[in-house]
Amino acid sequence: MVILTNELNLGGTEKAASLWAGYLAQADHRVTYLSLADGPRRADLDKRNIPTSIISDPCRAEVVSEAIQDADVIHAHAPGFAHRGDVLGAALKLLRHKIPVVQTNIFGQLRNPAENEWTNFRLFISWTSCVQAARRAGRKLDLEFFRRQSVAVYPMEDPITVTLKAETLKHEGRQLRNALGIQLNHVLFGRFSRPEPNKWTPLILDAFLAAYRKNPNIRLLLREPPPPSHKNSSPPASRLGHKIFSFQHLSFSAFQFFFYPPPPIPKNS
């Protein structure tokens, strides 16, 4: 199997794809990971000993075609609207044999009819995403719809491992609060984003400051905001003591609430 993504950043798409590759490899499947661009997620794949290739010229269908020609099946991760990964369609046409393509639809969108030509089956990341996609596209959730669509089921760890990790996270959560001087009666809000301008919006700061004036027992922790956000933070926001923690050492168990706005969808897609 070839798992294909547009990039190797730290987003949930790449995380899910790399985990899926690892589980398949553990089950003795032959897995290769292809990406149109390199990124920090590559380290996770290397740790799992997953053969990974970065397509040298991802805009050229001939190059992509050569990279996928030995695959028995391709698992592509796509946003549901036109994107650069659509080069896969042109690449498949250059092959003499047909390769089945399974797609994980990331954003619950069905606004890229061209991909229907090469997509044999589509998986949505959740039932909610599946229903939303059908409604947006004016499709009925009937037998015809589910002939080529369903919901992705990713493997989970065994209950003992999950329990042990939960206890570890509770301990890490307490350590995180202690390090920041956040008391148990403080309600901690967390905003998760990658350090990229297109993943960040300063609205969270304005909203939090408005809420803080009404309830001074709330706190805000920003994970990996882009550097400009520090310069643009107003003095009150700076005094509230938001602090950046690395991707590996941030404990979700410290928080009561999360802000996770979806990324904007291009208007011309």
Domains and CATH numbers, the chain: 2-151 (3.40.50.2000), 159-259 (3.40.50.2000)
Q: Which long-range contacts (CB under 8 A, 24 or more apart) does 133-141 make?
A: 133/80, 133/105, 133/108, 133/109, 134/110, 136/108, 136/109, 136/110, 136/111, 137/110, 137/111, 139/110
* Euclidean distance between CA atoms 117 and 110, whole angstroms: 13
Is residue 244 very low, low, confident or very high in pLDDT (cuts 50, 70, 90)?
Answer: very low
Q: What is the pLDDT of residue 23?
A: 85
Q: What is the pLDDT of residue 11?
A: 82
For residues 163 and 140, the model is more confident at 140
Q: Give the position of tokens 């208007």.
A: 267
Q: What is the pLDDT of residue 171?
A: 78
Q: What is the pLDDT of residue 243?
A: 36
| 26 pLDDT above the threshold of 90 | no
Is residue 69 very low, low, confident or very high in pLDDT (cuts 50, 70, 90)?
Answer: very high
* Euclidean distance between CA atoms 65 and 171, whole angstroms: 49
- Residue 104, φ and ψ in degrees, nearest 5: -100, 115
Question: Taking the CB of residue 118, how many other CB atoms lie within 10 A of it?
Answer: 20
- Least confident window among 68-82, 199-213, 229-243: 229-243
| 29 pLDDT above the threshold of 60 | yes
| 86 pLDDT above the threshold of 90 | yes
Q: What is the pLDDT of residue 32?
A: 96
| 213 pLDDT above the threshold of 80 | yes
Give the distance, in angstroms, between the CA of residue 267 and the centroid of all CA atoms in the same chain.
21
Coil, helix or strand at residue 241? coil
Q: Indicate left, alpha or beta for 241 from its phi (over 0: left) and psi (-120 to 50: alpha).
A: left
Q: Give the position of tokens 């987003």.
A: 11
For residues 175 and 79, the model is more confident at 79
- The helix (H) or strand (E) run that includes residue 237 is helix 235-239
- Residue 154, φ and ψ in degrees, nearest 5: -95, 145
Give the distance, in angstroms, between the CA of residue 45 and the centroid of all CA atoms in the same chain.
15
| 115 pLDDT above the threshold of 70 | yes
Q: What is the pLDDT of residue 60?
A: 96
| 82 pLDDT above the threshold of 80 | yes
- Residues with Cβ within 8 Å of 79's Cβ and at least 6 positions away in sequence, in order, are 105, 106, 107, 109, 265
Tell me which range, 67-71, 124-128, 196-200, is most confidently predicted by mean pLDDT: 67-71
